[in-house]
Amino acid sequence: MTAPAGPFAAVERAAATLGLHLTDAQLDACARYGAALVEANASVNLTAITDPDDIALKHFLDSFTAHAVRAWSGREKLVDVGSGAGFPGLALQIALPGIAVTCVEATGKKARAIERFRDLLHLQRAEVENARAEDLVRTSAHRERYDVATARALGSLAHCVELLFPFLRVGGDAIVWKGRVDAELHSAERALAALGGGSVTIVPTASLGLAEELPGRSLVVMRKDRSTPDVYPRTPAEMKRRPW
Ligand code: SAH
C-alpha cells in the first residue's frame, strides 16, 4: 500500500477538516472501491459519476460529511436506506470501522453490487438487505433498532422521514443529504410531528469548510424523540396518494 495520491489525497485533507483522520489503509480502500465501482458501472447502471476526482469528492467526501454533524461513539448501528452503489452507507463503514452498517437497497442488481464491494474490502460488519425499506422495517429485527439512519437522493425530506424514522430507536438521528432544503421543510415538519421527530439541524457544507469541494449542499439532522406509530411507513401507494 502506498500513501494516497491524486483525488484521495484531496479527500484526506478535506476529511481532516471534518475531524476525520483517515489512515492510508482506509484511503486505499476508498480508491479500490471507486475503481471497482467504475468497472461494475460498465454492466450495471450504478452511478452517473465516473470521473475519479468526482467519485472522490461527490461520493466519498460527501458521505464523510456525516462525521461532522453529530457526536459519534464509533459503535453505532447505522441503516442506509436506498444505498444505490453503497453511498453513504458503505463509505461510512470504511471511515468508521467500529460501526455496523446495514445497506437497504430495493434493486437486486444494485444490492448485489454493494455485496461485492463489501466483500472486496472485507467489511465484515456491513450487511446488505435487498428489500424495500417499507417491508424490512416491519420486521422486529429492524424496527426501532438503529442509532443512525441515513439517506441520500432518496426523495423529498418528508419521504425520507417516513422511511427512516421507523428504523430509529428513540434518541437516534436521521441524517439526510440535500441540495436546497428550504422548500421541503414545511412538509417535513408535518412528517416529523407524526413519526416522532424532535430537533432539526441544517448544516450547510459551507459551514463545514467545504464550500469549494461540495458547493450548495446541506445535511439535515433530525433527532427522534418519541416512538413511531405502527401505521408508518404507509404503503408506497398510500405515500404516493397522500404526500406530506
Ligand atoms: N444513496 C445512493 C443512491 C440514490 S438513488 C446515492 O446517493 O448515490 C436511490 C436508490 O434508492 C435507488 O437505488 C433505489 O433503488 C433505492 N430505493 C428507492 N426507494 C427505496 C425503498 N423504498 N426501499 C429501498 N430502496 C429504495
**Domain contains 72:** yes
**Domain contains 188:** yes
Q: pLDDT-based confidence at 7, cuts 50/70/90?
A: confident
Residue 80's DSSP bridge partners are 103, 150
**Domain contains 15:** yes
Residue 2 has pLDDT above 80, yes or no: no
In single-letter form, the type of residue at position 215 comes to: P
Q: pLDDT-based confidence at 1, cuts 50/70/90?
A: low
C-alpha of residue 5 to centroid of ligand 1, in Å: 31
**Domain contains 2:** no
C-alpha of residue 83 to centroid of ligand 1, in Å: 5
User: pLDDT of 137-190, one tens digit each?
Assistant: 999 999 999 999 999 999 999 999 999 999 999 999 999 999 989 999 999 999
User: What is the number of the ligand 1 atom nearest to the C-alpha of 105?
Assistant: 25
Average pLDDT over residues 50-56: 93
Q: Pocket of ligand 1, candidates 154, 164, 234, 239: which has the most ligand atoms within 8 Å of its Cβ, to mutate? A: 154
What is the model's pLDDT at position 192?
98
C-alpha of residue 154 to centroid of ligand 1, in Å: 5
**Domain contains 159:** yes
Query: Rounded to whole angstroms, how far apart are CA atoms 54 and 10?
Result: 11
Q: Measure the CA dihedral 103/104/108/114, to 10°.
A: -10
Pocket around ligand 1 at a 6 A CB cut-off: 81-85, 87, 104-107, 110, 132-134, 152-154, 163
**Domain contains 226:** yes
User: pLDDT of 186-207, one tens digit each?
Assistant: 999 999 999 999 999 999 999 9
C-alpha of residue 81 to centroid of ligand 1, in Å: 7
Q: pLDDT-based confidence at 6, cuts 50/70/90?
A: confident
Domain that holds residue 136: 7-241
**Domain contains 1:** no
Q: What rounded mean pLDDT belongs to the chain? A: 96
How many structural domains is the chain composed of?
1
Higher pLDDT: 47 or 5? It is 47
146 SS3 class: strand
Average pLDDT over residues 214-235: 98
Residues of the chain with pLDDT > 90: what percent?
95
CATH number for position 114: 3.40.50.150
**Domain contains 229:** yes
Question: SS3 string of 198-229?
Answer: EEEEEEEHHHHCCCCCCCCCEEEEEEECCCCC
Residue 3 has pLDDT above 90, yes or no: no
User: pLDDT of 81-135, one tens digit each?
Assistant: 999 999 999 999 999 999 999 999 999 999 999 999 999 999 999 999 999 999 9
DSSP H helices in the chain? 7-17, 24-41, 52-54, 62-64, 89-95, 108-120, 133-136, 157-164, 185-195, 236-241
